[in-house]
Structure 1
Amino acid sequence: MLPRCFFPLLVFTACLPAIAQDNPAPPVVAGFERFAGSDALEPVQAGQLLIGELRCTACHADGNASPLPGPNLQAAGLRLRSQWMLQFIEDPQAVKPGTTMPNLLGQFTAKEKRSIAESIVAFLRSQRRPYQEIKATGAQPVPYRFWERGNPQHGAELYHQSGCVACHAADQNYQPDGGPAAAADDRLAQLLEELDPEELAELGLDDIVSEAFSIPHADLAQKYTSLGLTRFLLDPLSTRPGGRMPDMKLAPVEAADLAAYLIERDDAAGDDGTTAPARSVPTADAQRIADGKKWFRELRCVQCHAADGVTPPTDTGLVTLAALRSAETARCSDSSADRDSAARHRPDYSLNEAQQQAILAALRTAGSPQPEATAAQRVHQELLRQNCYACHRRDSVGGVGRDRRGYFATVDHIDLGDEGRLPPPLTAVGRKLTVPWMSKVLKGQKADVRPHMLARMPVFATEATKTLPALFAAADEASQATSKTVFGDTAQLADAGRQLMDTGCVQCHAFDGQSMPGVMGVDIRGIGQRMHPQWFADFLMNPGKLKPRTRMPTFFQNGESQDKQLLGGDPQRQIAAMWTYLNASGKPRLPEKLETARATNYELIPNKRPVVLRTFMREAGTHAIAVGYPHQVHLAYDALNCRPALLWRGRFLDAQGTWFVRFTPPADPLGSDPVPLPDDFPIISLRSPQKTSATNAQTDTNTAPRFDGYRLDSHGTPTFLSHGHGLRLSERWEPHEQGFRRTLTIEGLTAQTAAQQLALRLHGGPGLTSKTPYAAKDESGLQLRLLDASNLKNQGLAPELQERAGQSQWLLPLAPAASEQASATIVIQYSW
């Protein structure tokens, strides 16, 4: 007979063995799947991980931490397809194998399941909290109905190169191209495959060659609309506040591209038999919504999921984890009827044997005195929870799986070795990085210092990561010493530090955004904001000790300086001098070699003719065409979105980065008075999004703008050509005394133009006002005036000031043509 103290565990885990042992799809918790049974995850720790990630404490509180919240359902009616919700609620594991969502209807009859699921879906369809407004900027355009414009080819590149495949399975049809370093990985993998497991363990390579475990997706084509998936990818933390799906810092257009790829991929895969046949979803009438709300509370969905109009009870009526060890809590209730009711509401997680045993091991320690976890143990547990080990390696645990490394690359395959393409290791990171800097990195606050790396460091939920930087510091016994306590008095060392930069630093690193041609390493100016001085000193003395296989050379071989004259050849004083120079306030002079390189003048100065340069600009994107005019007014045109992006005065551009740097930095205007212009194709549809049919949406997508190149006249002035919405557009920009004169010619107008409700967007932005029927001004001081107003009146064209997409827009509706293939010419004068 079992001891009395184990009886409550059997009560709690009655849901565990009741679940089919042969179920092939237990819930997937990445840290458990990858490390359970290894030294990296002990049984009790494995059970604690499962209890947290499966949200057991949402009902069975343990008092130590807030339970992990489930997906937010306040916008479920906008995000999710009703048919998918219905099937998922009835049988989550069948619809999404590996889901951590339990089956709450397993003890009901088929008829009851259907009725309950239909009611809950009706309630969820009523959850339609509006999406947060997306504000466009010059660097982040938000095209009209951007979620319909996704490019699946670019989405496939994003999915496989930005880091998604660290957690999720790669597409077998997508060939990784990680460059030379990845090719070396492949050759190493072939050698390792020839070793048996015992040999790998003996060499300490068993963890390195292990494959990462993939977190499964649902069938995204069945689950989401294009809008729903795009908005989720753009801001996953608003939907999943627990942070297990982090924010990948996607621009709106990138989110649309990624959504288009994922939906197209799942559509192409077809029905694999894991989902039930489609059936109609009943109308969500008031009674059914009310019934769904009742079931949402009764089945305790509200314990994990937020929904408008329903709040979780203050008392779940269930015992705590600690109380499960007490004999007094052995009975679920006093009557058999109540026991039957409890069984009908018991969640079914489809746990496998290993998961059950891990949870039982953790429950046996719940509530009993335990040694306080060390900082290192807490760090390890947090990295398991957040699945940081999918990308990062710490103390021989984790790292990108062998089968995924080939997808990690640098921009243009710049050969920087593994440290240039793989996420950095976290071993002793608390000794290296300051707590404020680690906090910025986790929060995504402009802390990216590896622009050459295609993989992105995501943003995590604040609640999930607010303690991690301090834990790293405590676990790694980080030195909080200042540069003065490490290096002594450094007041007179800055000039010597500047000289030392030329001994090798300028060949690999940038300084305050300036670099030698072809250099793309980490910018080390102001390094004291992110790095501890002691780590800096130790690293320079022996780089390979702190970063095995680093490409950082040793400048102090055997502890001796290469420059015996400077500062008496004292390595510590020379390192202190470099630290002082790199962290000097103000704008210290660049290293001499860098100054010399920059002295070579690559500034483009338009003299007699305009200068046209294809480049990369923050405001005009990666397909920018910059045009400099001798009149000291200039234009940047975004050829990807077929739009003028920026106007400015004064000096034009520096072409050095465009011409000589393999990893091209954005070309910033050298002049002043920049004026950003609307962020979408000038011709737009005025059809209401709510009234746009699926057919029309498909038509809009098929007629997305395309760039047709540009032509130069005899004076060198370009005319940009594009087409979209079935119309051809050409626009020519000529300088005048106060700014520019823009001539737009629209061809292909037909009698159907009115039905398409097309308009020419003359301008848009905050503070836009119309001074006269044919003139407008925005808050930046830009003034626009339509020329030849009488001709416009004769054509029946009159501009209108409207509020669209959260901002004022000055629109010129295009009138239907009297004959097929007619054209219209509009001239706008810009002054600022």
Structure 2
Amino acid sequence: MEQAAGAAHNFQSNTFLKPSLSYRYPLLTAACLSLGSAALAQPIIGGLDREMDAILAGRVLLTELNCVACHNSSLQAKGAPALRETSTRIQQSYLEEFLTDPHQAKPGTTMPNLLGSLEKEEQVEAAKSLSDYILSLQTEGTPTLPAPKPSAESTARGKELYHQVGCVACHNPEGSSLENSIPLHRLGEKFIHSALVAFLENPHKARPSARMPDFQLELSEATDLASYLLRDAKVRESVQADLSRVAAGKEWFEKLHCAQCHDPEQAPLPLAKALTELDGNRDCSATDYQLTETQTSWIQAALQSMDDEWDPQREIDFQMTQLNCYACHQRDGKGGPGDGRDSYFTTTNLNLGEQARIPPSLSHIGAKLIPYTLKETLTNGSKQRPYMNTRMPAYGSAPTKDLLELFLAHDKLPVAEFTRNEVNKDARLAGQTLVGDQHFSCVACHTFNGHAMTTLNAIDMTVMANRLTENWFHLFLRNPQQFHGTTIMPNFWPDGKSIRPEMLDGDRGKQIDAIWQYLEPGQQARMPSGVRPEPIFLDADQGEAVMLRRQYTGIGKRGIGVGYPSELNIAFDAAQCRLGSLWQGPFGEMSAVWRGQGSGFVKERSKTVYRFPVGPALALLDDMEAAWPVVEEAVKAPGFQFKGYTLDAVQRPTFRYLFDGMEIKDFFEDQSDGSTFVRSLTFDKKGSEKLFFRVAAGEKVTAGADEKTYLLDGQLQMKLSLPGQIRTVDSQQELIVPLAGAESFTITYEFLTK
């Protein structure tokens, strides 16, 4: 074995490790790259596969294994975790085991086994000293005590988050074992819950190299995700640091040159020969990464070509592989979610097709996005696709600086030649007209300043001119399928001819330029036609009531709205057999339920709508103090069966339903004064001793002159045919009526104000 010259390594045998050891500082030669017998010991680098370019893969390995931290090269070292930050979170028992044998403690790690040449007892003692020294670096206090076992609800939310936001792009989905997945091994022994939460909230604080990107999780999200990741945790008893070993640990830290990776700003110049000077046939004692034959061949191929110059596009390929961008994105036909992971890229809007769930292509990205937007996207993970569940994480400025410059300098597209309109209000008015619902109808798919015409809700048009280059905008609109083969975006200029020839002489370039000029002011652009569709009103007419079975606020999809000729209106809940709401004036505005696949709500056309409590109006109680049954909104009330309705001569319904073995008929009759409703409930048999009716609930229910008159919130008067009682429940007042022995019950609702 040949040790590098003193000038290269800058150490002598008596200042490195103990003279009795045959350990030499590792050179990247044959033994350093030897194939180990333990398959689990091989380092795992996300994004590398057997079929890829050997030289590129080798260069990635040289950086990800941090070889370039000691061997001088033009390549940039990955950098290792910041120990001052890590020391506040990691459990010492795990740290000791990891330092003793990193590959056994964490299969797939890129940490070399620096203590591997020591005798076993000395390994253990050195690891204990090193862990004591590392924990002495804490600047934020001691680790928190373990949290109680996470709740099942938190763990379930964390599982959904883990499989949606992008974690499985690099790590294994639950129950899978995919090639090149970064292991999540024994996290419960490494982190306590609060420590993992802190790491997930800001991973770059501990790992500034951004190989673990920042998904900008909310505290609640980080808490749920940590609950899932630690769901099977077996937390060991904490081991207290031994301050007497700190000095010895610091000595080991210096002897092993740990600062080369963990604190490069304080480390000396590279200690070993430059990569271009290495001879692949030389031997040395190795840190032994247990590389596979393929990994060894990759590094040897990279070493043999270190002097070769790369074209910029290949350098982009290299840096995207380093950051594992290809796990989510495609560029020039390479990358994108692979088998086993594709199904975890999901969307909340299937109507938009594949582009709604698969992250966008990075082909020509430097020619597509303006510099500021591209920098914000890489650095801070800006998000413009709210329907896509996978998030673009933040990588920070330092890890992406070179990639950003390469994108901007070398991504090129042909120049779109066109005749520009004179920049004035006429051009913008033409653009406004073109995107509206009477021409190209861009608003049918895209939101505009947060407003949507339909349920498609594609990227907001008001952000486009502030994100995209004008040249890309022109080229894309000319032929969207050329950029995205699966896009549902139509081509409005087939064969270069406009489908709207009456606008701007049918000139494609002028029309696209008009749209661009219109969108340039961003959120200040005037609203195009169709974004706010004309309302659709429904009212009683010619002396007859009207009905609309749709979704109403507080009721859900089984609502039955009735507008009466005297402009008094109700919404009945057929799921819970109760009066849901009551209002005075015109009946409803139904554009939200008439358009957009009927998914919206009918809007009551009144400033004052009385909403009655969710849950059944009839209940069986042991006494007046018993709690009323709780039933969630839009959920069928147990014990009730809705039997439909019959209509009288002027189309007013009588609702029929069953409860407690009796049939109930519920009829609302509007009075000609326009202020009074008479509600009559009749039962086919007498009410039982335990039968009660909840008339209303609100902030304030007050009794009138007698025990049968009440006032709800000072504006709705209710006269009952049977005496009621007021009770207070959780800061609300309820009006309850016992129905024991009753065969009918009448409520007269009177609006005291218009």
Q: Is the 8 Å Cα contact of residues 30 and 280 (structure 2) preserved in structure 1?
A: no
- Residues 571-628 of structure 1 show CA distances to partners (whole Å, capped at 9, x for unaligned) of 2211111111111367332111123348989xxxxxxxxxx9779xxxxxxxxxxxxx
Note if 1:68 corresponds to 2:84: no
- 1:346-357 matched pairs, under 5 angstroms: 346-357=286-297
- Per-residue CA deviation, residues 59-102 of structure 1 (Å, 9 max, x unaligned), is 1121x244211011213343111121111111111121111111
Change (3 A) 1:457 1:663: farther
> Which residue matches 2:56?
45
Determine the structure 1 residue equivalent to 2:449: 512
Q: Secondary structure of 1:89's match?
A: helix
Q: Is the 8 A contact 1:119 1:289 kept in 2?
A: yes
Counterpart CA distance in 2 for 1:24 and 1:586 is 54
Alignment TM-score, normalising by the size of structure 2: 0.65
Partners of 2:594 and 2:149 lie apart in 1 by 34
Q: 1:489 matched to which residue of 2?
A: 422
Shift of 1:298: 1.2
Which residue type is aligned with residue 236 of structure 1?
P
1:288-437 map, 5 Å:
288-306=245-263, 312-324=266-278, 343=285, 346-366=286-306, 368=307, 370-371=308-309, 373-411=310-348, 413-437=349-373
My pick for the range that moved more, 148-157 or 528-537, is 148-157
2:393 to 450, 458, 462: 458
- Matched residue SS, 1:458: coil
CA contact (8 A) 1:155 1:259 kept: yes
1:28 alignment counterpart: 44
Task: Tell me which residue corresponds to 2:65.
Answer: 54
Aligned length in residues: 541
Over 3 Å counting, the alpha-carbon distance change for 1:380 and 1:84 in structure 2 is same
- The share of aligned pairs that are identical, in percent, is 32
**CA distance 1:232–1:47, change in 2 (3 Å):** same
What amino acid maps onto 1:468 in structure 2? L
Q: 1:114 Cα deviation (Å)?
A: 0.8
Contact kept in structure 1, 2:34 and 2:296, CA below 8 Å:
no
Residue identity matched to 1:31: G
In structure 1, the residue matched to 2:526 is 589
The residue number in structure 2 matching 1:233 is 200
- Answer yes or no: is the 8 Å Cα contact 2:135–2:241 preserved in 1: yes
Determine which structure has more spread, i.e. the larger CA radius of gyration: 2
Q: Does 1:500 align with 2:434?
A: yes
Residue 698 of structure 2 aligns with an amino acid whose one-letter code is G
**Which residue of 1 is the match for residue 99 of structure 2?**
89
CA gap 1:664/1:464 in 2 versus in 1, 3 angstroms: farther
Question: Which whole-Å deviations, capped at 9, do the CAs of 1:301-352 have from their partners, x for residues lacking one?
Answer: 2221249xxx74424542222333599xx898xxxxxxxxxx4xx4221111
Superposed displacement of residue 713, structure 1:
9.5
User: For the structure 1 residues 663 and 306, does the alpha-carbon distance in structure 2 shift closer, same or farther, using more than 3 Å as the test?
Assistant: farther
Tell whether the 8 Å contact from 1:160 to 1:170 is kept in structure 2 after alignment.
yes
Structure 1 unmatched ranges of 5 or more: 1-7, 133-144, 175-210, 271-277, 333-342, 602-611, 616-653, 666-706, 720-733, 736-742, 747-832
Name the CA shift for 1:393/1:316 in 2 (closer, same or farther; >3 Å): closer
The superposition leaves residues 447-493 of structure 1 with CA deviations (integer Å, 9 ceiling, x where unpaired) of 31100111100000311112323322333215799xx9873534331
Question: Structure 1 residue 259: deviation in Å?
Answer: 0.3
Instruction: Sort the Cα spacing of 1:395 and 1:300 in 2 relative to 1 into closer, same or farther, 3 A.
Output: same
The structure whose residues are more often helix, as a share, is 1
Please list the CA deviations of residues 772-813 of structure 1 after superposition, one character each: whole Å capped at 9, or x if unmatched.
Answer: xxxxxxxxxxxxxxxxxxxxxxxxxxxxxxxxxxxxxxxxxx
Partners of 2:520 and 2:301 in 1: CA distance:
51
Please give the root-mean-square deviation of Cα atoms over the aligned residues, in Å.
4.0
The structure showing larger relative contact order (alpha-carbon pairs under 8 Å, at least 6 residues apart) is 1
Q: Which residue of 1 aligns with 2:383?
A: 448
Q: 2:165 maps to what in 1?
A: 162
Counterpart Cα distance in 1 of 2:519 and 2:480: 18
Distance 2:509 2:515 in 1: 10
Note the C-alpha offset of 1:232: 0.7
* Matched position secondary structure for 1:403: coil
**Distance in 2, Cα, partners of 1:407 & 1:331:** 46
Query: How far apart, CA to CA, are the structure 1 residues paired with 2:468 and 2:393?
Result: 20
Amino acid at match of 1:30: G
Change (3 A) 1:455 1:528: same
Tell me if the contact between 1:480 and 1:532 (Cα under 8 Å) persists in the aligned partners. no
Once the two structures are superposed, the pairs formed by residues 624-703 of structure 1 within 5 Å of their partners are none
Contact 1:247–1:459 (Cα < 8 Å) also in 2: yes
The equivalent position to 1:717 in structure 2, one of 699, 702, 716, is 699
> Residue 65 of structure 2 aligns to which amino acid in structure 1?
L
* Residue number in structure 2 paired with 1:477: 412
Give CA-to-partner distance per residue, 1:26-51, whole Å, 9 cap, x none.
1011232x2x433xx2x222211110
Cα gap change, 1:19 to 1:563, in 2 (>3 Å): closer
Closer, same or farther in 2 for the Cα pair 1:83/1:323, shift >3 Å? same
Deviations 1:495-532 (A, max 9, x none): 11111112220110011112214231110114121112
Structure 2 gap segments, 5+ residues each: 1-8, 10-24, 539-551, 556-588, 601-629, 634-693, 702-712, 715-727, 732-754
User: Residue 430 of structure 1 contacts residue 472 of structure 1 at CA under 8 Å; is this kept in 2?
Assistant: yes
- Rounded to whole Å, the distance in 2 between the matches of 1:659 and 1:80 is 57
Q: Is residue 563 of structure 1 aligned with residue 520 of structure 2? A: no
Distance in 2 (CA, whole Å) between partners of 1:101 and 1:504 is 56
1:117 aligns with 2:133: no
- The yes-or-no answer on 1:533 pairing with 2:470 is yes
Q: Which moved more, 1:93-102 or 1:72-81?
A: 72-81
- For the residues of structure 2 that align with 1:76 and 1:451, how far apart are their CA atoms? 33
Deviates more, 1:253-262 or 1:545-554: 545-554
What amino acid maps onto 1:168 in structure 2? H
Aligned counterparts of 1:713 and 1:129: Cα–Cα separation in 2: 62
Deviation at 1:363, TM superposition (A): 1.9
CA distance in 2, matches of 1:45, 1:718: 74
**TM-score, with length taken from structure 1:** 0.59
Query: In 1, are the aligned partners of 2:166 and 2:391 still within 8 Å (CA)?
Result: yes
C-alpha distance in 2 between matches for 1:539 and 1:162: 28
5 Å-filtered alignment, 1:116-135, equals 116-130=126-140
1: CA distance, partners of 2:198 / 2:259: 23
What is the distance in 2 between the residues matched to 1:475 and 1:266? 48
CA 480–53 in structure 1, closer or farther in 2 if over 3 Å, else same: farther
Against the structure 1 CA distance between its residues 614 and 105, is the aligned structure 2 distance closer, same or farther, given a 3 Å change threshold? farther
Instruction: Tell me the residue number matched to 1:258.
Output: 225
Letter in 1 for 2:389: L
CA distance in 2, matches of 1:500, 1:224: 57
Q: C-alpha distance in 1, partners of 2:116/2:700?
A: 68
1:219 to 183, 186, 201: 186
Preserved contact between residue 154 and residue 228 of structure 2 (Cα < 8 Å): yes
Output the CA distance in 1 between the equivalents of 2:210 and 2:164.
21
CA drift of 1:714 comes to 4.4
The 1:532–1:287 alpha-carbon spacing in structure 2 relative to 1, beyond 3 Å, is same
CA distance in 2, matches of 1:165, 1:14: 35
